[in-house]
Amino acid sequence: MVTGAGGGVGRATVRAFAARGDRVALLARGREGLAAAADEVERAGGEALVVGVDVSDAKAVDDAAQQVVDAYGHIDVWVNNAFTGVFAPFTEVTPDEFRRVTEVTYLGYVFGTRAALRHMLPRDRGTIVQVGSALAYRGIPLQSAYCGAKHAIQGFNESLRCELLHARSGVRTTMVQLPGLNTPQFDWVLNRMPGRARPVAPVYQPEVAARAIVHASSHARRREYWVGGSTAATLLANAVVPGLLERYLARTNVDAQQEEGRPEGPANLWSPADGAHGRDHGAHGRFDDESTGKSPQQWLSRNRGWMGAVLTAGAAALAARKLTAPARG
C-alpha cells in the first residue's frame, strides 16, 4: 500500500513496485492521478487496487486497510508518503493551515501506521516504510509546518521501533530520508511568496526516491536510509555544526527555494489538485532539465556492508603484503 500514490514520489514508487509484478494498493484523494497511476501499474505488469482516501481521517484509513485485506488477504508493505504544505513565513501561516498540514503530513503517517499494525501484528510480519526528508532533522525557512511534521514523524517512528524491538516483533519499520526532488508538489503547495516555489539544488528525479523506498521495503532492519549526497551532507553538517548550518540556511535558503514567476495552479491543501476538476500531474515536476536520475551516495548507502567488507579485505591484504615484503637495507 502506498499513500499519496497519485503523483510525485508516490507515483514513481507504485511504478517501481509494479515493475516487480507486485499487487499495489493506491491510496490518495485525487481521482485523475489515481486513475492514471492504476493504468501505469497494470501496464508495468502489476495489479492495482485504487482506494480514494484522505489520510487525515483515521477511520477512512482503517477502512482502506480493511478493503485491501479483503481484496488481497493481507498487507506485506505499507508506505506512508502523503503530505501537503504551506510555503510561507511562519507568521503568515494561519492556525487552520498549520493544523491541516500537521493532520495530513504527520497524523496521516500515524493513522496509516496504526492501520497497518492492526493487520501486521497478528501475522507477526510486514514492513512499514516512512517516507521522510532531510528536513526531518534540519528545519529550513518557509516550511515550518512541513518541517515540524517531518520532525514529528522521526520521533514517532523511533519510539515505535523501540516498542517493536522490545516485543521481539517480526514487523519492521524504517525511514527513508529524501533530498530535493523534481515532483509536482512545488506547484501544489499553498504559496504566499513572491516567486514560484522550487526544490533546493541539487535536484533528483522521483525515481531515485522510489528505488530507495522499494529497497527499504525489503531491507527494513536498517533504521533509516539517506538518499542523495545533499541529504547526507545536510544531516552530517547538522550533527557537527548545527549553528553554522542554521546561519547558512538563514542567509541562502529563502532565495534558493524560489525562482522567477508567480505561483501557478490550485493549492492542494484542502482539496486535491488532481481532483474531479483537475488533471493528472504525474510523477515529475517542471525541473527535468536540471534533475539527475542517479545517486552514487544512495548506492553506497545500500551497499555499505559490502563496501565495508571490500575495504576490510583490502586493508588486510595490504597489511599482509607489508608483513611478507622483504626488508630493505
Q: How far apart are CA 4 and CA 132, in angstroms?
A: 13
The DSSP bridge partners found for residue 190 are 86
Q: Rounded to an integer, what is the distance from CA 75 to the centroid of its chain?
A: 19
DSSP string, 277-325: TS----S--S-GGGEES--HHHHHHHTHHHHHHHHHHHHHHHHHHHHHS
Q: How far apart are CA 155 and CA 176, in angstroms?
A: 14
Q: Rounded to an integer, what is the distance from CA 15 to the centroid of its chain?
A: 15
Which pairing describes strands 126-131 and 77-80: parallel, antiparallel, or unpaired? parallel
Query: 62 Cβ partners below 8 Å, 6+ apart?
Result: 111, 114, 115, 118
Specify the amino acid at residue 300: L
3-state secondary structure 107-147: HHHHHHHHHHHHHHHHHCCEEEEEECCHHHCCCCCCCHHHH
The DSSP bridge partners found for residue 27 are 3, 51
Residue 252 C-alpha cell reads as 541562502
Q: Which residues are catalytic?
A: 146
Long-range residue pairs from 53-56, CB within 8 A, at least 24 positions apart, any chain = 53/3, 53/27, 53/28, 53/29, 54/29, 54/104, 55/3, 55/4, 55/27, 55/82, 55/104, 55/107, 55/108, 55/109, 55/111, 55/112, 56/100, 56/103, 56/104, 56/107, 56/108, 56/111
